[in-house]
């Protein structure tokens, strides 16, 4: 464990409410030398107030609530003086543990230490089926599921730091993994949605609630129920015929809320289905949606709503949707997003453009609860530790900070041990050009012979591939100058990502051009030089990916991404064989390279001209 300590705290002189937190942080962040900078605490009457100031040679943290004191400690460790204020009584994150990557107990503890020093006081663990239920061996089978003892250990540690651990589960949809097993035939409506009104459905939900009720201190539980687009459209309809989705949804919610109450739990759900079922497109954010009055009245009084929105870039939309939630008679929790999903590294540009207006709207609307989701869609291949930089930035905004880059650099270094500036530079691998988002995973997983995504890229604009290459090469060159530490995100792994993307795009450009030009020498160079270098790059990337995965996650789920790397290598080897067959005249064309985009204007060049190879002397 890296010792980030540079201050001394006499815990016996600190307020009693902070003792557990200070003792938990002592080993990693504090020193025993009382001659070093000394920190003392003073209580303020305003709950969201925070002031960190030097008095003589010591630092005084004046705070209104526990999480303000904790953030003040982080700022003191960073040597930062400031005055801040937050309106959020609950500021938290939601960590996705259901898309392959299940964070280990020890790594969650590391995150909890950093979160508290940034000012967070809530953590949701999103677990669709990744927890163990009694007599349900296929629930979370081979998925790295948490035992109740593991969750209790996390909860104990979180409580010591002043962080509320809230279960975030699913009790209707998003249950593709368990419902795939024949053991759950009786509770399956569709491939991902449970069968409402079935006794067996509520029996297993009762087991879920019993697990979490006995695992955490918090009496709040997030029961999900989002994106159930085909609710009542499967076996339910076969048995009961068509019924309005609103009615099925509210009836099921009422039943589950009552189950929660029997376990001493207070339920919250994602709110989207009330808005989606109000328009024919199933759009959460349709401005013309109108929720029927009878539906509003039937929403269980005990059910709380979470408004999730990771997309809008104007404050006015967030304020309007907060207002609409309040019209339902609910004070919502806001769920924004620190972008980790479908990315290999934290995406700061997307986070900044959506989180900034969201926080502004929440502050102006005087919302009391805000969290930042971190999803793992498509296999959770993001280096999740890289998102700690995004959480540092998001906390800064949530406390009304001035976003001073020097302040963020100092705080991130003191709390997480990494360079904020370097993490943000690397996040530039997610390139936004006009209305097109050029995601790094699309490059990494694009088939090297079919080049489907590359073709779509050049279909939109035949110059974008060169801009992409220039961007990735710049990220690779800059990252090569960084120290390859892994205190936060794994910088060497980031370099390997950028290097692989650079070589992949370079290979694809050369391949298409050489094939179109029937350039014998260039195709041979691809086989003898470019493809072997790219294969080696994938192997190196696979090694660093495994390293950063095993450092923080249980081993389950790693096999999915390793299979993708292996497929890329196999397909590059196939590409070399096919190009060799072509140049040695055993074949006269490569059909995969003859295909054109399915739609849109076909750009000139880059392999889109009809150019069947012929057996000529040139070959």
Q: For residues 513 and 482, what is the distance between their CA atoms, to the nearest angstrom? A: 34
Q: For residues 217 and 508, what is the distance between their CA atoms, to the nearest angstrom? A: 54
Q: For residues 105 and 98, what is the distance between their CA atoms, to the nearest angstrom? A: 15
The pLDDT of residue 619 is above 70: no
pLDDT digits (tens, 9 = 90+) for 470-527: 999 999 999 999 999 999 999 999 999 999 999 999 999 999 999 999 999 999 999 9
The sign one gets for the Cα dihedral 116, 119, 120, 121 is positive
What share of the chain in percent tops pLDDT 90? 86
Among 404, 409, 427, residue whose Cα is nearest residue 351: 427
Among 180, 177, 184, 154, residue whose Cα is nearest residue 167: 154
> pTM, whole model, 2 decimals?
0.94
pLDDT digits (tens, 9 = 90+) for 438-452: 778 999 999 999 999
Residue 483 pLDDT:
93
User: Do 314 and 398 touch, CB atoms closer than 8 A?
Assistant: no
* Structural domains for the chain: 7-85 (3.30.160.230), 90-412 (3.20.20.80), 430-594 (1.20.120.670)
Residue 606 pLDDT:
33
Q: For residues 528 and 355, what is the distance between their CA atoms, to the nearest angstrom? A: 47
**Confidence band of 615 (pLDDT split at 50, 70, 90):** very low
Lowest mean pLDDT, pick from 134-143, 227-236, 363-372, 607-616: 607-616
Among 231, 315, 310, 302, residue whose Cα is nearest residue 269: 302
Provide DSSP, 16-41.
GGGHHHHHHHHHHHB-S-TTSEEEEE
Residue 597 pLDDT:
64
Query: What tokens were used for 121?
Result: 């006081």
The pLDDT of residue 617 is above 50: no
Q: For residues 454 and 444, what is the distance between their CA atoms, to the nearest angstrom? A: 11
Helix locations, 427-490, DSSP H? 440-445, 452-460, 464-480
pLDDT digits (tens, 9 = 90+) for 542-568: 999 999 999 999 999 999 999 999 999
Pairing of strands 304-308, 333-337: parallel
CA distances from 372 to 301, 340, 392 (A): 25, 11, 11
For residue 206, the tally of other CB atoms under 10 A from its CB is: 14
Burial (Cβ within 10 Å: 0-12, 13-18, ≥19) of residue 213: middle
Pairing of strands 369-374, 431-433: unpaired
Residue 522 pLDDT:
98
Q: For residues 235 and 240, what is the distance between their CA atoms, to the nearest angstrom? A: 8
**Confidence band of 601 (pLDDT split at 50, 70, 90):** very low
Among 274, 275, 265, residue whose Cα is nearest residue 169: 265
- Mean pLDDT on 207-226: 98
Q: For residues 89 and 368, what is the distance between their CA atoms, to the nearest angstrom? A: 5
Q: For residues 401 and 412, what is the distance between their CA atoms, to the nearest angstrom? A: 14
Q: For residues 174 and 206, what is the distance between their CA atoms, to the nearest angstrom? A: 18
Among 72, 177, 66, residue whose Cα is nearest residue 117: 72
Helices and strands, counts by H and E, the chain: 22, 15
pLDDT digits (tens, 9 = 90+) for 19-47: 999 999 988 887 666 666 789 999 999 99
């Amino acid at each position: 464990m890296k010792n980030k300590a540079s201050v001394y705290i006499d815990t016996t002189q600190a307020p009693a409410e902070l003792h557990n937190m200070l003792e938990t942080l002592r080993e990693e962040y504090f020193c025993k030398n009382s001659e070093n900078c000394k920190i003392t605490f003073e209580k303020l009457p305003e709950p969201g107030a925070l002031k960190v100031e030097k008095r003589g040679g010591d630092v005084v943290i004046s705070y209104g609530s526990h999480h303000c004191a904790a953030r003040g400690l982080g700022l003191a460790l960073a040597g930062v003086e400031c005055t801040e204020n937050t309106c959020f009584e609950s500021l938290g994150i939601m960590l996705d543990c259901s898309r392959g990557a299940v964070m280990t107990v020890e790594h969650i503890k590391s995150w909890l230490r950093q979160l508290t020093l940034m000012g967070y006081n809530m953590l949701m663990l999103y677990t669709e089926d990744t927890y163990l239920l009694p007599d349900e061996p296929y629930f979370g089978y081979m998925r790295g599921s948490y035992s109740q003892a593991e969750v209790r250990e996390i909860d104990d540690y979180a409580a010591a730091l002043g962080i509320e651990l809230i279960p975030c589960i699913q009790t209707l949809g998003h249950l593709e993994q368990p419902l795939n097993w024949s053991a759950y035939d009786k509770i399956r409506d569709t491939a991902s949605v449970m069968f409402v009104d079935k006794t067996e459905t509520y029996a297993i939900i009762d087991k879920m609630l019993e697990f979490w009720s006995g695992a955490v201190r918090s009496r709040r539980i997030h029961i999900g129920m989002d994106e159930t687009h085909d609710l009542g459209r499967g076996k339910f309809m076969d048995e009961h015929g068509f019924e309005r989705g609103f009615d099925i949804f509210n009836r099921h919610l009422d039943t589950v809320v009552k189950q929660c109450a029997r376990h001493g739990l207070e339920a919250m759900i994602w709110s989207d289905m009330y808005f989606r079922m109000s328009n024919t497109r199933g759009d959460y954010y349709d401005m013309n949606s109108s929720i029927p009055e009878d539906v509003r009245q039937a929403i269980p009084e005990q059910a709380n709503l979470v408004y999730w929105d990771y997309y809008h870039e104007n404050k006015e939309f967030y304020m309007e949707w907060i207002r609409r939630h309040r019209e339902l008679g609910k004070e919502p929790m806001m769920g924004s997003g620190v972008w980790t999903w479908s990315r290999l590294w934290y995406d700061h540009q997307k986070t900044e453009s959506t989180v900034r207006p969201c926080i502004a709207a929440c502050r102006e609307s005087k919302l009391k609860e805000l969290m930042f989701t971190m999803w793992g869609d498509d296999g959770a291949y993001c280096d999740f530790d890289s998102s700690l930089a995004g959480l540092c930035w998001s906390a800064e905004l949530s406390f009304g900070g001035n976003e001073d880059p020097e302040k963020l650099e100092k705080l991130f270094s003191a709390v997480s041990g990494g360079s904020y500036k370097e993490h943000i530079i690397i996040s530039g691998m997610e390139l936004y050009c006009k209305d097109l988002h050029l995601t790094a995973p699309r490059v990494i997983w694009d088939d090297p012979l079919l080049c489907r995504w590359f073709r779509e890229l050049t279909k939109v604009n035949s110059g974008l591939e060169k801009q992409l290459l220039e961007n990735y090469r710049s990220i690779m060159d800059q990252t090569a100058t960084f120290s390859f530490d892994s205190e936060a995100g794994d910088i060497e792994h980031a370099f390997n990502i950028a290097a692989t993307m650079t070589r992949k795009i370079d290979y694809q450009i050369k391949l298409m051009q050489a094939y179109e030009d029937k350039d014998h020498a260039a195709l041979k160079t691809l086989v003898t030089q470019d493809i072997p270098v790219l294969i080696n790059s994938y192997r190196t990337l696979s090694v660093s990916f495994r390293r950063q995965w095993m450092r923080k996650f249980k081993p389950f789920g790693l096999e999915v991404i390793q299979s993708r790397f292996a497929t890329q290598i196999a397909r590059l080897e196939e590409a070399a064989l096919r190009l060799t067959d072509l140049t040695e005249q055993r074949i006269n064309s490569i059909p995969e390279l003859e295909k054109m985009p399915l739609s849109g204007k076909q750009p000139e060049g880059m392999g889109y001209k009809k150019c069947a190879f012929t057996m000529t002397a040139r070959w």
